Each structure stands twice: as C-alpha cells, then as structure tokens.
Chains A and B, each alone.
Chain A
Amino acid sequence: MKQSNIVRITADIMFPFIMIFGAYVVLHGHLTPGGGFQGGAVMASGVVLLLIAHCDKDIKTLIPTQILKNVETFGLLLFGLSALAAVILGSGFFTNWLVNTGLLFGTPVEYGPNPGYLNTGGVIPVMNIAVGLEVLAALSVIAVIMFRSTEPDCGGEEQ
C-alpha cells in the first residue's frame, strides 16, 4: 500500500517551499504577523506532509528522530539561556539585553511606522528562532512517534 505518484511528487516539490515559508515566518516574527509558534507549526506541517506521502518507506531514514529530539532540546536551552544571560549581565530574568545596543539585532527603532528592519528587536528574534526550532522538532517528533508506533493504513491505491 503506497500513495500514488502524484501525491508523492507533489509532496516532494512542496516540502522546500513550506519549510522556507515557515522559516520566513519565524525570522520575521518581530516585524510581520507570526512568530516562533506559528512558523514552527508551518514547518512541522511540511514534515507531516512528507510523512504521509512516503509512509511506505522507512521512516527512520527519511526523518531522523534523534536529530529532531536534539534540535528540540537545543531550542529550549537557547530560549532559557538567552533569558538567563540577562541575569549574568546584571539585570532581571527575561530582560531584553540586546535591544538598542547596536550589536546583533540591536538597531534602535523610533516610534511610528517604518518599513521594518530585520536587525532590530534585541533578544526577541533569538527567542523566536529558539521557539521555532522547538515547535518544529516537537510536533514532528510527536507525529513520527505516533506514526511509527501504530500500523497506519496509508490510504493510497494498490500499485
């Protein structure tokens, strides 16, 4: 039982575009609607699409679960450490210590409409990336593990 060629090839073509769109939503989280959670969910939907389209193959080689688990842990650690770094630098937990410093993501922004500068936001883009990685990996791991532990009927036609 496997999916038809149309489903598999369409999933293969759409997968990079879905991942790029999710990465765009994550990276521009402080400028446009969206953010870490939304972009991570979009990217996880790409992984689930791949999972559904190629469900007759070996899922372990297609989507490496262990790497995804490591990515999830890395995201949560990056989130916590970027918050803890403010304590080390002498202010409160979760203080935005990168904003208006001129360093990475530190360009000052004036009040009012502007076209949206990517190099702003202080620690917000860092946390967006961390949460995006974590949501991507977490939802993918949940889908893959539920998929591998059941006996899924892929629903395609017999070939």
Chain B
Amino acid sequence: MNRKNGITVCIIAIIAVVLIYAQSGISFGDPVYQDMDQYFLLNGQVQTGGNNICTDVVFDFRAFDTLGEATVLFTAVMGVIVIFRRLMKGEEYEAE
C-alpha cells in the first residue's frame, strides 16, 4: 500500500467513525420534530382527497418541488437533443 492509498483509507475511516457516532444518539422510528408529518397524516386526506399521503405531499403540499422536477426532465431532454444532434446517423434533424 503506497502513501496515497493510506491517506484515502484514513479519510474514509474518519468519516465512518463520525457518521456512526452521529447516528448512535438517534433512536429509530422516533423523530424529534413530528409536527409536520402529524399534520399531513391528520389533514392530508380531508384537504386533498387523496388516500396516498406521499402523492398528496408531492403534488399538493409541495407541488413547487414537482414543478422543478418536471422542468429538470424537460431540460435534460433538450440537452440530450442538442448534444446528440450531430451524431444522428446521416439524417437531417427534423426542425419542425
């Protein structure tokens, strides 16, 4: 093992110790702040009419996030078309 690998292993070990120490004080399934999810569970079904609380949150309570995701997907398609346009097999790019 050369010197560079030794440094890498040391950094990974330090990060692992820090993360394990950080999660050792948290009890599983018992979040400290639960006002928000309790609100969603108690009022989401009545306010949005959907049984699936995940979809209620994604498409109603936090729909701006979903708008961003849809825009990211649209931008990804635009980027792929721009990059791969020159590589299309000898065919003209239809520009309608």
Contact = CB atoms under 8 A, between A and B. Distances in A.
Please classify the interface of chain B as helix (H, G, I), strand (E, B), loop, or mixed, using the class held by over half of its residues. Answer: helix
A124 B53 CA distance: 11
A122 B59 CA distance: 11
B10 interface: no
A31 B69 contact: no
Given A100-B49, A128-B55, A72 B77 contact: yes
B62 to A, nearest CB: 9
Interface string B52-96: 101110111001101101110110110011001101110000101
A142 B80 contact: yes
A153 interface: no
Contacts of A151: 89
Interface of A: 29-37, 66, 69, 72, 75-76, 79-80, 83, 94, 96, 99-100, 105-112, 114, 116, 120-124, 127-128, 131, 134-135, 138, 141-142, 145-146, 148-151
Interface of B: 42, 45-52, 54-56, 58-60, 63-64, 66-67, 69-71, 73-74, 76-77, 80-81, 84-85, 87-89, 94, 96
9 contacts: A35-B55, A79-B66, A83-B67, A114-B51, A121-B50, A124-B49, A128-B55, A138-B76, A149-B84
